[in-house]
Amino acid sequence: MSIRESQGYALGPDDGAMTWFLGGLLTWKASAGETAGSYDLFEQVGRQGFMAPLHTHEHESEGFYVLEGEVLFRVGDQVLTATAGTFAFVPPQVQHAFRVVSPQAKFLTIVAPGGLRAFFEALGEQAPTRSLPPPPAEPPDPQRLIEQAAKYGITILGPPPGESP
């Protein structure tokens, strides 16, 4: 058991490891190594168009809490535009996706049980500053995304809401 698991910890608003992932900035507030595997918690910030494709998780539940901006979510068959204060919950094996529709959005994501940080880090890169990465020159390689996702029990099913297959 780590010090963080046994004694707890606190992070300030600008604290936490940062990852640039698919054009967004992820700031890790807690991950499996600090929560005895219970959950991962991270803040996501992205420009308009920042998205996660339609996918499922074999074992994990996810929760999304919008802090700023507007995010279009698909959860199962439901599509909703989420604004500040909106929460969306996704059980394991339920199809879901999101796309930022405002100029920028910020939201918290919790994944339980924890352990998906390695997926985001495998496809992303350590952010040198607490800022959004430069806009991607091209879309992510779909085959690489599918292959990496499969290693973590994630099945990519299609595009996010508002995008044609």
Domains, the chain: 16-158 (2.60.120.10)
Strand order in the sheet with 87-90: 87-90, 61-68, 104-112, 40-47, 24-30, 18-21, 125-126
Segment 141-157 shows an average pLDDT of 95
**Per-residue model confidence (pLDDT) at position 95:** 97
Residue 38 CA to residue 139 CA, distance in Å, equals 32
Indicate whether 67 pLDDT > 90: yes
**Across 17-21, 99-103, 107-111, 157-161, least confident range:** 157-161
**Per-residue model confidence (pLDDT) at position 140:** 83
Residue 79 CA to residue 74 CA, distance in Å, equals 4
Indicate the DSSP class of residue 48.
Answer: T
Q: pTM for the whole thing?
A: 0.92
Average pLDDT, the chain: 93
Quick one: which of 31, 49, 30, 24 has its CA closest to 106? 24
Indicate whether 139 pLDDT > 90: no
Indicate whether 165 pLDDT > 60: no
Quick one: which of 141, 149, 144, 136 has its CA closest to 23? 136
